[in-house]
Amino acid sequence: MREFTNPPMASAPLVGGLADAVFDHALEDPLRIAFGRKDTGGVWRDVTSGEFRDEVLGLAKGLIAQGVRFGDRVAVMSRTRYEWTLFDFALWSIGAQVVPIYPTSSAEQVFWMLHDAQVSAAMVEHEDHAMTIGSVIDRLPQLRRLWQLDADAVGELNGAGRDIDDDVVHRHRRAVTPDSIATIIYTSGTTGRPKGCLISHANFMFEADVMVGRWEPVFHSKRGDEATTLLFLPLAHVFGRMVQVAGVRGRVKLGHQPNLNAAALLPDFAAFRPSFVLAVPYIFEKVFNAARRKAEKDGKAGAFDKAVECAVRYADAMEARAFGTGPGPSAGLRMQHQLFDKLVYSKVREALGGRVRHAMSGGSGMDRRLGLFFAGAGVTIYEGYGLTESTAAATANPPERTRYGTVGQAIPGTTVHIAEDGEVWLHGGNVFQGYLNDPKATDATVLDGWLATGDLGSLDEDGYLTITGRKKEILVTSGGKSVSPAQLEERVRDHPLVAQCIVVGNDRPYIAALVTLDAEAVEHWLTMRRKPMLPPSELVRDPDLETEVRRAVVAANTLVSQAESIRTFRILAHQFSEEHGLLTPSLKLKRKAIEQAYEAEVQALYRS
């Protein structure tokens, strides 16, 4: 199949903007719990829709009093927290355009985005962010205002707007139309300088309303309960932003967690107890690996592995039945599954708070086996695919028929087309408005309404999309063999000891790889084998550790022909990091930067 179209669910909105939902919901049901907000003591407190409306209104009046005008661009540089959502909707209430900045951005990255977008004001989280902007502010004459959340920016603005009449905000809000620009999100920039993606109110409304309309049943732990989710994805990324907008428009109770790591997330999962989760594969990998390590530490690794195999076979059989290719789990498998549900699977669900039965995953590919395990363990993960330019998800697995290992079908109202060279093209109401100040790049990316994604993929007979790599990342060996590195890297990363993998081999005689280690997993591995903890430079030479990584490489090589396989690899002492310019803020590999930083190690892979 070369093209798949999913019919629209509803017509596009003709009037209004994103902030209208805040005021409409407060008018309809002011006492509904809209947010959970953690106080300074770490206790979750409820915020009603009426209270949120009042906070948005007060902040919007303050922004007007401080000189923010309709169409102005205002930057937000912060981790994921309640105040970010508050600022978003306050700025949208007065027709301003929000420019999110990753909190880990360097001074030069911050300068480029603030300069390119001609930002007139900025809100930062804390003093370090203020100092980052301060270091380049002499080159930003258009930047007139800077507020700091941890210095009571909200209180300051509320005070400033006290004498502004509410109707001033409402007049601004009523002037916002669906085609007004809501935000300018800068791409992560794996190659070249980040580009500002212009995303309209209509783009976000289309995306959020489709996701809520089609997937709302899976937002609940059980029928009729309150839909709640913990938002921990970066709000500077389009995926996190879509979750925020969909949560507000879909009346989902939202909580915020600023730290995207298991140590911080797991306690908040237990306290907030979300009914569903939206995450990247990394989170599900961490939950699985933590459960596996605990089982091994308790001397129950064998039983855990049997439970994993049972879950995978059970989910595989359920998938076959959904697609009419099998009868479903046998009686024996159902009994075994029921036993493991009490012993193992319930503990995995408890790690996510105990209520989660459904989740959505995006940002990168998820291994089919991991998806099957979670489904068999009672948490169905609906994998999807999208870009900043498609306002997050363009495809997603439908609730009734999930095909694990794929990113699903086109969401309602969109079309997926596979071009002659295998590139994925998208068409729909979620396709962005173009790149800021870059008509040449816009013309090269959006062709007659079609978004050329730069990703390679294929559609099966039912219209399910599988992503196979990036056009720009295809490696061509000196022998002329073209190799897509993505599937090799993902399979190597499936090994619990491996943190990252980058495949190299462009213009070289064969394919090789650089591998980094997961420190937590390695520590556990050493403890279980009563091995001493060595410095990283010595640890990477451990022959047993090298054997483990070789197993991961061998498993990856089963996916490809011999000419495409990884011939040799090298374990590095330290992980690739954003701080060293080797990862994007969304944790994607910066290939050229990594090959340059590890030029000596790459050269060593090709010495005879």
pTM confidence score: 0.91
Q: What is the pLDDT of residues 232-256, one digit of tens each?
A: 999 999 999 999 999 999 999 999 9
For domain 276-470, give the CATH number: 2.30.38.10
Rounded Cα distance between 70 and 60, Å, is 11
Query: pLDDT at residue 90 above 70?
Result: yes
Count helices and strands (H / E) in the chain: 22, 26
pLDDT at 482: 85
Residue 191 has pLDDT above 70, yes or no: no
The per-residue DSSP string of 369-394 comes to HHHHHHHHTT-EEEEEEEEGGGTEEE
Q: Over 79-119, what HEC string results?
A: CCCHHHHHHHHHHHHCCCEEEEECCCCCHHHHHHHHHHCCC
For β-strands 511-517 and 121-124, DSSP reports them as unpaired
Residue with tokens 């002499």: 138
Q: What number is the average pLDDT over the span 583-596?
A: 86
pLDDT at 608: 57
The rounded percent of the chain whose pLDDT value lies above 90 is: 83
Whether 193 has a pLDDT exceeding 90, the answer reads: no
pLDDT band at 517 (very low <50, low <70, confident <90, very high): very high
Predicted confidence band of residue 192 (pLDDT cuts 50, 70, 90): low
Own/partner pairs, 476-482, CB within 8 angstroms, 24+ separation: 476/506, 476/507, 477/505, 477/506, 477/507, 477/508, 477/509, 477/510, 477/511, 477/563, 478/507, 478/508, 478/509, 479/509, 479/563, 481/563, 481/564
Q: Measured between alpha carbons, how far is 445 from 440 in angstroms, rounded to an integer?
A: 9
* Location of structure tokens 């001033």: 168
pLDDT over threshold 80, residue 574? yes
The mean pLDDT value for 541-547 works out to: 93
> Could you tell me the pLDDT band of residue 106, with boundaries at 50, 70 and 90?
confident
What integer is the mean pLDDT of 388-396? Answer: 97
Mean per-residue pLDDT, 524-531? 92
What mean pLDDT value characterizes the chain? Answer: 94
Residue 189 pLDDT more than 60? Answer: no
Tokens encoding 54? 């009042």
Average pLDDT over residues 360-376: 93
Report the pLDDT value the prediction gives residue 239, as an integer from 0 to 100. Answer: 95
Q: What is the residue extent of each domain of the chain?
A: 18-176+226-272, 276-470, 474-605
d(CA 579, CA 590): 12
CB 9 within 8 A of CB 412: yes
Measured between its terminal Cα atoms, the distance across the chain in Å is: 45
E strand or H helix at 181, and its extent? strand 181-186
Whether 538 and 526 have beta carbons less than 8 Å apart is answered as: no
* 358, β-bridge pairs: 276, 380
CA-derived radius of gyration, the chain: 24
pLDDT in tens, 316-339: 999 999 999 999 999 999 999 999
Q: Are 402 and 321 in contact (CB under 8 A)?
A: no
pLDDT greater than 80 at residue 587: no
Per-residue tokens: 281? 């594969």
Three-state helix/strand/coil letters over 449-501: CEEEEEEEEEECCCCCEEEEEEHHHCEECCCCCEECHHHHHHHHHCCCCEEEE
Residue 343, helix vs strand vs coil: helix
Question: What is 18-176+226-272's CATH number?
Answer: 3.40.50.12780
Q: Which is more confident, 41 or 157?
A: 157
Query: What dihedral do alpha carbons 325, 327, 329, 332 form, nearest 10°?
Result: -140
Indicate the pLDDT class of residue 588, thresholds 50, 70 and 90.
confident
What number does CATH give the domain 474-605? 3.30.300.30
Cross-strand pairs, 387 = 392
